[in-house]
Amino acid sequence: MALKGRVKSEEEIPAGLEEYYEAHDGEYRLKVTGLVEKGVVDEFRNNNIKLQNELADLNKKISSVDLDEYQSLRAEKDAQRDQKLIEEGKVEELINERVHRMSQNFEKEKMTLQEQLDQLNNQATTYKRKYDDSIVEQKLINAASRAGVRNEATTDVLNRAKQIWRNSEEGDLVAMQGDNQLYGKDGRKPLEVEEWFESLADEAPHLFKNSEGSGALGGRGGPAGRRVSLQDQSALNANLEDIANGKVSVF
């Protein structure tokens, strides 16, 4: 038995299915998420058919127009009008009208060229951004490898790094916060990517491989070099053995 989407009275609801209907504007409607009434569907379909027919008529009219012939007839009409003005001695009016027509054509061509230029600029900006992003990502991947980032943590580390690292005009990595360049611990030299990874290792040691005195981070192993926050449960779980052996300290 097909259920009706709406009924006028409670008596029309099939027995035992009352809980699936709700009162609304003096009638009862079936409780179905996303239910669209047939009248709405019919209206949408009819409007769609109407628009398709209108579009077909418009395409038919456009396809029957010879643009070259149209331009030729328009030029002929302008020439006839110009000749009439000359015969009537209205030379100044003729000049003004020709200047107006030329100005209109110039503005149209200028607008078309500007749109093309804007499109090319947007494409160039998009390509430049994609190029810079690829350069930055590759350099960060190499730096992460040198710093001893765990393979499974690379995506997390890269997402953090991409928030601040940019590709400079000279092709170097530069750390930026908004429009401001970030500096290293001494406050004078620009922040270097190696120093950033060292700071990250202090903040989130679980993202890095265990080290025993060697590696790009310069021997961060030992109790003083590897630390895990007591509040970081995932880091604690990942370093249980090293914590037990005294290789990683908890703070």
Nearest to 103 by CA among 113, 111, 93: 111
More confident residue, 141 or 223: 141
Domain presence at residue 150: no
Query: For position 220, what pLDDT does the model report?
Result: 43
In angstroms, rounded to a whole number, what is the distance separating the alpha carbons of residues 106 and 38? 53
Task: Provide the domain limits for residue 249.
Answer: 204-251
- The contacts of residue 98 (CB under 8 Å, 6+ apart) are 82
Q: Is 133 left (phi over 0), alpha (psi -120 to 50) or beta?
A: alpha
Query: For position 67, what pLDDT does the model report?
Result: 58
In angstroms, rounded to a whole number, what is the distance separating the alpha carbons of residues 147 and 217? 6
Domain presence at residue 225: yes
Q: What is the pTM of this model?
A: 0.43
Domain presence at residue 208: yes
Evaluate if residue 142 carries a pLDDT over 80: yes
- The residues with which 190 forms a beta bridge, in sequence order, are 183
Domain presence at residue 235: yes
Domain presence at residue 211: yes
DSSP track, 55-116: HHHHHHHHHT--HHHHHHHHHHHHHHHHHHHHHTT-HHHHHHHHHHHHHHHHHHHHHHHHHH
Nearest to 6 by CA among 22, 26, 29: 29
The average confidence (pLDDT) of the chain is 75
- Residue 144, SS3 per DSSP: helix
For 154-203, how does the pLDDT look when each residue is reduced to its tens digit (9 = 90+)?
Answer: 999 999 999 999 988 888 899 998 889 999 888 889 999 999 999 899 88
Indicate the number of domains in the chain: 1
- The contacts of residue 17 (CB under 8 Å, 6+ apart) are 3
Q: How many CA atoms lie within 13 A of 84 on its CB side?
A: 7
Query: For position 160, what pLDDT does the model report?
Result: 92
Assign 232 a pLDDT band (cuts: 50, 70, 90).
Answer: low
Evaluate if residue 76 carries a pLDDT over 90: no
Domain presence at residue 209: yes
For 23-40, how does the pLDDT look when each residue is reduced to its tens digit (9 = 90+)?
Answer: 877 787 776 544 455 565
Domain presence at residue 212: yes
Query: Residues 121-136: what's their mean pLDDT?
Result: 83
Domain presence at residue 40: no
Query: For position 196, what pLDDT does the model report?
Result: 92
In angstroms, rounded to a whole number, what is the distance separating the alpha carbons of residues 207 and 195? 16
